[in-house]
Amino acid sequence: MPTLTDTLAKLSAAPGVSGHENAVRALLVREFQKLADTVEITPLGSVIGILRAQTTRGPRAARPKSSAAPRLLVEAHMDQIGLIVTDIQDGFIRFEEIGYWDSRVLPSQNVLVHGKKTLPGVIGARPPHVLAAAERKRPLALAELFIDLGLSDARARELVSVGDVITLDRALLSLQNEMVASQALDNRAGLAALLEFLRHMQDTPRAWDIYAVANVNEEDSPLYVGAQTAAYAIQPHIAICLDVTHARQVGLSDDALPEAGQGPGIARGANVHPFVFDKLRQAARRRALPHQITVYGSDTETNAWIMQVTGDGIPTGLVEIPLRYMHSAVETIALSDIARAAELLQEFAAQLNADDARALRGETFVRAPARRARAKRRR
Amino acid sequence: MPTLTDTLAKLSAAPGVSGHENAVRALLVREFQKLADTVEITPLGSVIGILRAQTTRGPRAARPKSSAAPRLLVEAHMDQIGLIVTDIQDGFIRFEEIGYWDSRVLPSQNVLVHGKKTLPGVIGARPPHVLAAAERKRPLALAELFIDLGLSDARARELVSVGDVITLDRALLSLQNEMVASQALDNRAGLAALLEFLRHMQDTPRAWDIYAVANVNEEDSPLYVGAQTAAYAIQPHIAICLDVTHARQVGLSDDALPEAGQGPGIARGANVHPFVFDKLRQAARRRALPHQITVYGSDTETNAWIMQVTGDGIPTGLVEIPLRYMHSAVETIALSDIARAAELLQEFAAQLNADDARALRGETFVRAPARRARAKRRR
Amino acid sequence: MTRKENQAARARAHFPAFDLPAPSPTHAADALTPFHQLIKRLSETYGPSGSEEAVRELARAEIKGLADQIRVDAFGNLIALRKGAGNRRKKIMVTAPLDEPGVMVTFLDARGFARFGMLGAVKPLTLPGARCQFENGVIGVFGRETRGAADTEKDADAFFLDVGATSAQDAPVRIGDAACLVGEFRAAGNLLCGKALSGRARGAILIETLRRLKRATHDVYCVFTVQSQVGARGAGAAAFALQPDYAFVLDATPAQDFPGGDTNLALGKGPAILAQDEKMIASAAARQVLLEATRQTQTPYQIQAHARGGGEGAPIQAAREGTVTGALGLPVRYLHTQSEMVDARDVANIIEILTSVFAAKTL
Amino acid sequence: MTRKENQAARARAHFPAFDLPAPSPTHAADALTPFHQLIKRLSETYGPSGSEEAVRELARAEIKGLADQIRVDAFGNLIALRKGAGNRRKKIMVTAPLDEPGVMVTFLDARGFARFGMLGAVKPLTLPGARCQFENGVIGVFGRETRGAADTEKDADAFFLDVGATSAQDAPVRIGDAACLVGEFRAAGNLLCGKALSGRARGAILIETLRRLKRATHDVYCVFTVQSQVGARGAGAAAFALQPDYAFVLDATPAQDFPGGDTNLALGKGPAILAQDEKMIASAAARQVLLEATRQTQTPYQIQAHARGGGEGAPIQAAREGTVTGALGLPVRYLHTQSEMVDARDVANIIEILTSVFAAKTL
């Protein structure tokens, strides 16, 4: 069985810029196929791994075609922020952001340009010697940056097209105290927790069908279009979002923020259904798992926000991995928080029974999952 | 004979905002009539006092109708910066500037609004108690200022019209060391010197006709229209401008600036004809008059600038009264500088002979003054 | 339509208004091809967002006989179905807007000046001195407050509309009335220029594609959408109803092949296949279909990778469990002004590409 | 004129250009009075500063038979003398501009885009999307660079003109060609609206005054000036030559009786007697003459005291030994745009006042 570090390293090495998630999706499909009864892909490319309800401990039953069990959706977004080629000028690559970057971190990064082949490059800028004093005092604007591939203009145009995406070239780095740093740990950390959760559920008795979902288009889409459409397709009774959140760090010392390594955050607030919150906290307490309560007045800025209002409304929860230096090249997390998030969700899922679904949904309980057959045809 | 202080007090009390010089002009016409053979007024309202050439000492000859003598023009502008009513709102007077103000000096000034009658008023502004911190740190803009006459809206509209002019209400104040302060000493100081010069010339033998000119529209007009048109009418062989200049003061310690009380400035530079400068300096030396040399690369920002290029060009000089706090309510000068400027010009005028005119003008010497008869018809 | 005409007559009878002379007839249009005449007519028709009736009726008349089904949905979208004959036929939805940018009166002051809100991304500072036209023919002139510092693009509150009124009572327009910009249609070689042109040229493309399409493989739903300028509101509703396998949005790509333009997108170099816009990253499968069509038809194309503008793609992509959505951008200079400019060759190439997609054996 | 028409024909024959359809005929103008039709014709005539031939010919034709002498001076000013019959007659000069704001091509780049300079106080930021028309009928669309931050009024370098060309060679305009703004004439009650209207309405006032004037006491020189928009260049030359006793400048007063206007000057409340403009303080004697005329004719008037704009007064006042100069401002909204707006009552009142001045027994 792979270690968490292995999983995370593999996940963070697979490019998956929003809307261009092919590589990371392929990896996830392979992993889901090992761990789920059925794997489906939505029209927009989100991956759904279904683990049917099974009330006995032991090896998985033969894959059932359908189920009347309530549905628990646990999702993590698979996409990452990235860059996109907007122009090629004299062999240099001009680019824009996909997702929300702190563009001050971009100068002097190594990057990979995903053209006809994957090309290593560096982000250059004018040297400080030639800058006016005022220029030295302000951060570089995106329009001043470019990528140098070492190619001639003609060769660059042959290998790279406008619209190709770019990722940072940054392998997972292990720090002290089981902490790791890399690009894209938002949200490869959540994905790792999702896979770990699925692994735990293999021989955990459960009254609900488990829908593990790796969603596309979280970082770029004001509509959270990946999560919205997958949730619409599944119409779950409960949806849990697994994502990262700001951890306490230098310059960000708000006491309300969780600390990395002190356990996953369990979110509370308008975006979280009280029943779901209570059940999550009970689960953490029962397993004596370190955890932290995070509070949001309204928008959690995660897929939880759109899932809550998808269809006729879904009771939603949010489990968070504390992360330092969000949307930088050195996003940093504690591996223990991932492991505990997976254990928390295992305990949560194991506890759910038919009464819970009824309690949440009243008489609207029995519903067939909508049109998944058609969704499956894609790709 | 009036003292210089009396003259200056009278001159500075007579309102004469650019383009609205009636009161000061009336005063000057009376003074010129005492001191000149002929007084004329140009179409635009400049006043010309002509003192014909007279080579013998003693009482003035009968007024000659014409003259073949060369013409010396000595001028000072009679107008002052002021304000103009642009609107009446709820009885309060809104205004704009005529001429170049430092509008930071306007709040809390006493003013005179020259409406159907002359009305005293004050310039008000919002009290500091109600201001935001940022507001307290920036100067008041002209649009935030208004004049309170203590009148109702209806009564204000009855007595004041849009287009009426406004002056500061500020009498001449005597300081130590024969220095005086007031509004409008730019250029009442020059006018006082001009009158004093005329007085000295009464029994000073002279080979040239003296044209003393008090000009309108210096402060407001990018064309120096008063000086230009008067000089065009007179077509003098030499023109001297009498105006004020920045004196050394706190915050303005440029060593090149003249000092108040150390004698008039004699300007040198592209705007001044070398012959005129030399003759002025010789005159000062001959009379052992304290004087200071002021230097201008090009534009002296006085009527000398336009007179120099009027018609086919006029050899021009500039004699300056050093003044502190230009265009404020407390313009400050030394009376001695006025007296010495007048003596300087007396000596200069007395020295001029027919050869000088020929030296300056060569064969173009004999010219009839143009169309003054018609100009005289006005007003 | 009758109701509207009565309103106009009422306004003319009672109020002073800039409504004379009448809009000029379609003069000198003989020099244009019938298709360009159609573009001209569409461009000159009144139809700001929410008031698309006249444009829709014009489009409906044009597509009569060209489709197997024509209907107007509850939202106001005009939908034409051309049935496909293929064995493995898919359901394809293609959208083009009916509406155009404009303004809507939000307030009338005592002196008869109107304040307005934007319908679409009109830039306030380009307006002073420009004109708009209301449905009843009344002309308004845009002005801007001079008091205070309204010198940035953002300060939209400082703008107003002068409809020739002297009081709120005699104003020939009412709060809620919408107006489009005023700009005559012009042609110069391949360049076409006019108000509302970026949208109406796309509508004309759909009409002309239906006209030329001999035999469709797939079921093609041509959706002429309403309210596209104010948040692409019509498109999502149509996608929810139609549940297409593929959606292709005809979009407007801001061409900046002019001095100091900050993108490399140009007029006449083919339509833009969108990698993304501000709100959507195009579905890879849809991009492939479009790319394949350009190969089949040997038409030039450009890629738009800038996250600029938000077209009708985002709500379509988000409909139900998700729609595979691509976008084909008609390059346009001077978007959202009275002088939008397009290249007739780009227009023709989009028709080629769409025809190829509709007739493709498989998708 | 022939030369110009040949040029236009050449441009049409060789180059693509936005020159179709042709400018619309004077339709629906029947509703206008003959005088307002004259204003309309003047407004619609091409005549940016330096290219006033067509307007001047129109004005010259209109004043034929109304003056004792008509001539065009070396500078291009059209001067009509109506001799006075009074014993104590004075020489009065009245000026109105022939020209209008516009632009002039200063550079053509390799792609056929034109850079331009302003003829008059056109505000760059109001231009994008607006159009101009060249003498040969070619239409240009104004655009603005998107690269960089050209978001203030001052940044005039960032604007350009799109004349529908694809290269400098096929551009239908040349460096130095001038263009006027495009804006149809409209009327709404007393309000008149159109391009060039602020100047042409003043020209029409002079023409109509000459037409109505039964008997002048004074010698009246009506000067239709050229190049007024680019520094009032024609007026000073005329004053130098004529040496009038009084000069009255017909000026344009920026009326701001709109939301957030920062002056109290309004349309329809009578012409403005100028206390000053930016470059001149009006001569008191001339102000008195105008004030007296308003009393005689019982016409309303306003006073403009703001030092805004610089009309033709300054160079006239400065001519020779000085000219007693006053100015009468026609209130105009949206000055220097394609939609200048004036009130027909103000126009009529200026005619009354001028007629009264010209016929006054003494001045």
Interstrand relation of C178-181 and C131-134 (parallel, antiparallel or unpaired)? antiparallel
Q: Is the pLDDT of residue D323 over 60?
A: yes
**In which domain, by residue range, is B248 found?**
4-80+183-360
For C285, nearest residue in chain A (alpha carbons): A379
Q: How many other C-beta atoms lie within 10 A of the C-beta of residue A131?
A: 14
Q: Are residues D256 and D341 in the same domain?
A: yes
Q: Where are the beta strands (DSSP E) in D231-283?
A: 246-254, 272-274
User: Do B84 and D279 lie within an 8 Å CB cutoff?
Assistant: no
Q: Is B361 helix (H, G, I), strand (E, B) or coil?
A: helix
- Contact indicator for A195, A203 with CB cutoff of 8 Å: no
d(CA D104, CA D118): 6
Residue D11 lies in a domain: no
Q: Are residues D140 and D173 in the same domain?
A: yes
Q: Are residues B249 and B343 in the same domain?
A: yes
Q: Are residues C109 and C127 in the same domain?
A: yes
Residues D294-309 have pLDDT tens digits of 999 999 999 999 887 7
Q: Of A119, D98, D260, D219, which is closest to residue C145 (Cα–Cα)? A: D260
Return the pLDDT at A253.
Answer: 61
User: Do B162 and D318 lie within an 8 Å CB cutoff?
Assistant: no
Q: Are residues B235 and B278 in the same domain?
A: yes
Q: Is the pLDDT of residue B124 over 90?
A: no
Residue A27 lies in a domain: yes
Q: Are residues D196 and D269 in the same domain?
A: yes
Q: Are residues B20 and B90 in the same domain?
A: no
Q: Which two tokens stand for residue C102?
A: 């404009």
Task: Give pLDDT tens digits along chain C (363 positions).
Answer: 333 444 444 444 455 666 544 444 444 445 799 999 999 999 999 999 889 999 999 999 999 999 999 999 877 899 999 999 989 999 999 999 999 999 988 888 998 999 888 888 888 888 989 999 999 999 999 998 887 654 554 556 788 999 999 898 899 998 888 999 999 999 998 999 999 999 999 999 999 999 999 999 999 999 999 888 877 777 888 898 899 999 999 999 999 899 888 777 999 999 999 999 888 999 999 999 999 999 999 999 999 998 877 789 999 999 889 999 999 999 999 999 999 999 999 999 999 999 999 999 988
Flag whether residue C126 sits within 8 Å of chain A, measured between CB atoms: no
Backbone angles phi, psi at B340, to 5 degrees: -70, -35
Q: Are residues A266 and A346 in the same domain?
A: yes
Picking from D181, D204, D234, the residue at the C-terminal end of a domain is D181
Q: Are residues B68 and B217 in the same domain?
A: yes
Domain count along chain D: 2
Q: Are residues B127 and B263 in the same domain?
A: no
User: Do B96 and D302 lie within an 8 Å CB cutoff?
Assistant: no
Residue B61 per-residue DSSP state: P
- Tell me the pLDDT band of D7, cut-offs 50, 70 and 90: very low
Q: Are residues B348 and B227 in the same domain?
A: yes
Q: Are residues D96 and D110 in the same domain?
A: no
Return the pLDDT at D131.
Answer: 96
**Contact: chain A with chain B (3+ CB pairs below 8 Å):** no
Return the pLDDT at A190.
Answer: 98
Q: Are residues C144 and C73 in the same domain?
A: no
Return the pLDDT at C150.
Answer: 47
Q: Are residues B248 and B262 in the same domain?
A: yes
Average pLDDT, chain B: 87
Least confident of B111-120, B315-324, D117-126, D313-322: D117-126
Q: Are residues D172 and D237 in the same domain?
A: no
Return the pLDDT at D6.
Answer: 42
Residue C8 lies in a domain: no
Q: What is the dihedral of CA C162, C164, C166, C171, to 10 degrees?
A: -90
All residues of chain C having their beta carbon less than 8 Å from the beta carbon of residue A229 are: 317-318, 320-322
Return the pLDDT at C230.
Answer: 78
Q: Are residues A103 and A29 in the same domain?
A: no
Return the pLDDT at D36.
Answer: 96
Q: Are residues C242 and C326 in the same domain?
A: yes
Return the pLDDT at D37.
Answer: 96
Query: Residue D325's domain is classified under what CATH number?
Result: 3.40.630.10
Highest mean pLDDT among A1-15, B204-218, C21-35, D247-261: B204-218
Query: Helix A22-35 vs helix A4-13: angle between axes, to the nearest 10 degrees?
Result: 150
Flag whether residue A223 sits within 8 Å of chain C, measured between CB atoms: yes
User: Do D191 and C164 lie within an 8 Å CB cutoff?
Assistant: yes
Flag whether residue C284 sits within 8 Å of chain A, measured between CB atoms: yes
Residues B246-305 have pLDDT tens digits of 998 776 666 678 999 999 999 988 888 889 999 999 999 999 999 999 988 778 899 999
Residue B373 lies in a domain: no
- Contact indicator for A303, A77 with CB cutoff of 8 Å: yes
**Contact: chain C with chain D (3+ CB pairs below 8 Å):** yes
Q: Is the pLDDT of residue D19 over 60?
A: no
Picking from C131, C162, C181, the residue at the C-terminal end of a domain is C181
Return the pLDDT at D339.
Answer: 95
All residues of chain C having their beta carbon less than 8 Å from the beta carbon of residue D123 are: 128
Residue A124 lies in a domain: yes
Return the pLDDT at D9.
Answer: 42
Residue C65 lies in a domain: yes
Return the pLDDT at C123.
Answer: 85
Best D264, D303, D321, D324 residue to mutate vs chain B (most B CBs within 10 Å): D321
- Tell me the pLDDT band of A371, cut-offs 50, 70 and 90: very low
Picking from C181, C201, C218, the residue at the C-terminal end of a domain is C181
For C160, nearest residue in chain D (alpha carbons): D259
- Tell me the pLDDT band of B106, cut-offs 50, 70 and 90: confident
Q: Are residues C35 and C162 in the same domain?
A: no
Least confident of A244-258, A273-287, A338-352, C16-30: C16-30
Q: Is the pLDDT of residue D204 over 70?
A: yes
Return the pLDDT at B365.
Answer: 36
Q: Are residues A121 and A265 in the same domain?
A: no
Q: Is the pLDDT of residue A59 over 70?
A: no
Return the pLDDT at B137.
Answer: 67
Q: Are residues B230 and B113 in the same domain?
A: no
Domain count along chain A: 2
Smallest Cβ distance to D29: which of C21, C28, C341?
Answer: C21
Residue D7 lies in a domain: no
Residue C82 lies in a domain: yes
Least confident of A272-286, A360-374, D221-235: A360-374
Q: Of B357, B361, B366, which is closest to residue B72 (Cα–Cα)? A: B357
Query: Residue B107's domain is classified under what CATH number?
Result: 2.40.30.40
Q: Are residues A236 and A325 in the same domain?
A: yes
d(CA A329, CA A348): 33
Residue C271 lies in a domain: yes
All residues of chain C having their beta carbon less than 8 Å from the beta carbon of residue A226 are: 322
Least confident of A260-269, A279-288, D149-158: D149-158
Best B42, B46, B162, B215 residue to mutate vs chain D (most D CBs within 10 Å): B162
Say what percent of chain A tops pLDDT 70. 88
B-D CB pairs within 8 A amount to 97
Residues 223-282 of C with CB under 8 A from A: 262-264, 273, 275-276, 279-282
User: Do C322 and A370 lie within an 8 Å CB cutoff?
Assistant: no
Query: Residue C157's domain is classified under what CATH number?
Result: 2.40.30.40
All residues of chain C having their beta carbon less than 8 Å from the beta carbon of residue D171 are: none
Picking from A133, A168, A203, the residue at the C-terminal end of a domain is A168
Q: Of D301, D333, D337, which is closest to residue D190 (Cα–Cα)? A: D333
Residue B293 lies in a domain: yes
User: Do D259 and C337 lie within an 8 Å CB cutoff?
Assistant: no
Q: Which two tokens stand for residue A117?
A: 């082949």
Return the pLDDT at B58.
Answer: 64
Average pLDDT, chain A: 87
Residues B88-102 have pLDDT tens digits of 988 889 999 999 887
Q: Is the pLDDT of residue B76 over 90?
A: yes
Answer with the residue of higher pLDDT: D308 or B119.
Answer: B119
d(CA D180, CA A261): 71
**In which domain, by residue range, is D115 found?**
102-181
Picking from A168, A196, A227, the residue at the C-terminal end of a domain is A168
All residues of chain D having their beta carbon less than 8 Å from the beta carbon of residue B96 are: 305-307
Query: Residue B289's domain is classified under what CATH number?
Result: 3.40.630.10
Q: Are residues D320 and D212 in the same domain?
A: yes
Q: Are residues D209 and D333 in the same domain?
A: yes
Q: Are residues D201 and D311 in the same domain?
A: yes
Residue A19 lies in a domain: yes
User: Do D188 and C17 lie within an 8 Å CB cutoff?
Assistant: yes
Q: Which two tokens stand for residue B122?
A: 């004050």
Residues D159-182 have pLDDT tens digits of 899 999 989 889 999 888 899 999
d(CA A203, CA C229): 53
User: Do B87 and D324 lie within an 8 Å CB cutoff?
Assistant: no
Residues A295-315 have pLDDT tens digits of 887 788 999 999 988 887 889
Q: Is the pLDDT of residue B160 over 60?
A: yes
Answer with the residue of higher pLDDT: A238 or A142.
Answer: A238
